Amino acid sequence: MWLALLYGCAGGAALLYVLYRWVIPSVVQYHAGLALIWHDTIVEGLLNALTQTTRPQRLLAAVQKNATRGDPRSVVKAIDQFCRQKEWAMNVGDEKGCILDSVVTEVNPATVLELGTYCAYSTVRIASLLPPHAKLITLEFNPHNAAIARQVIAWAGLGDKIQLVEGASGDWIPKMKEKFAIETFDLVFLDHWKDRYLPDTKLMEECGLLRKGSILLADNVICPGTPDYLEYIRNSPRYKSQYFRSHLEYTKVEDGLEKSVFLG
């Protein structure tokens, strides 16, 4: 009887593991709401409780284990592997990351502002493509994420190109010119909380941080979505805007990037 109970428990545990590891992820990857609830709430909460660590800490551990110090592309690869094989995370990801890379390469910016650093995945992607003497300022208001991001940036060997500023975009955008001797940004990557895209764009306009030809590149305009920002940027005579269709990071849910040229 004890043996039957043991086999029953082992079988149940194996079934739960198969559901958790393969069946549920392969179903939710096609559904925006379910994918975010599963990966961002259920799995993250479960793993945090079981391991007494945070997702950013686990992501950093994967970088330290699998990436080569001073090699930014190996850092990006290690994070993508972690997110595809172990745990989803809210980086721009490998698929939309290629679009981000092509925009950075095309613009070849001397000044870049990133809104929303998280663990510095996109920060590393952008900085590794910048010309010498270019400046990337990235804003992150969560101190824990900022601390992890600093270590990821240091591991990639990009500390001299990136200035990570800890604080909220609404507080820092008005101080950019004074604190960082910035005239205007050539490229702005918007990837913080989605309800801030529109007010922060208007704030950048008011503060004179955009010049004729500045590029705004906005992530997640479909999933989770930024309807008020899209409505504004696509209808304002001050912008010429274009949508790049892709998928929500590490899933098959539709998402995309909106690239908008400021016309002055």
Ligand X SMILES: C[S@@+](CC[C@H](N)C(=O)[O-])C[C@H]1O[C@@H](n2cnc3c(N)ncnc32)[C@H](O)[C@@H]1O
> Which parts of this chain interact with Mg ion (CB under 5 A)?
191, 219-220
Residues in contact with ligand X by CB under 6 A are 90-92, 116, 118, 121-122, 139-142, 145, 168-169, 191-193, 196
Residue 221 CB partners (closer than 8 Å, separation 6+): 229, 230, 243, 255, 256, 257, 258
186 is catalytic: no
By beta-carbon proximity to ligand X, the closer residue of 7 and 190 is 190
- Whole-angstrom distance, CA of residue 209 vs CA of residue 174: 9
Q: What would the two tokens of residue 72 be? A: 């930014």
- Whole-angstrom distance, CA of residue 261 vs CA of residue 233: 9
For the bound state, the minimum distance from the C-beta of residue 191 to ligand X, rounded and expressed in Å, comes to: 4
259 is catalytic: no
194 is catalytic: yes
Residue among 91, 94, 220, 255 flagged as catalytic? 220
141 binding partner (options Mg ion, ligand X, none; Cβ < 5 to 8 Å by kind):
ligand X
By beta-carbon proximity to Mg ion, the closer residue of 135 and 192 is 192
Q: What would the two tokens of residue 240 be? A: 């010429």
Could you tell me which of 200, 117, 208 has the C-alpha nearest to residue 165? 117
- Whole-angstrom distance, CA of residue 207 vs CA of residue 182: 11
By beta-carbon proximity to ligand X, the closer residue of 59 and 134 is 59
By beta-carbon proximity to ligand X, the closer residue of 148 and 230 is 148
Residue 73 CB partners (closer than 8 Å, separation 6+): 128
139 binding partner (options ligand X, Mg ion, none; Cβ < 5 to 8 Å by kind):
ligand X
Beta-bridged to residue 259, according to DSSP, are: 217, 242
252 is catalytic: no
> Three-state SS for 68?
coil
Residue among 44, 140, 200, 219 flagged as catalytic? 219
For the bound state, the minimum distance from the C-beta of residue 121 to ligand X, rounded and expressed in Å, comes to: 3
Residue nearest to ligand X (CB): 116
48 is catalytic: no
The DSSP secondary-structure symbol of 19 reads: I
Residues annotated as catalytic are 191, 194, 219-220, 249
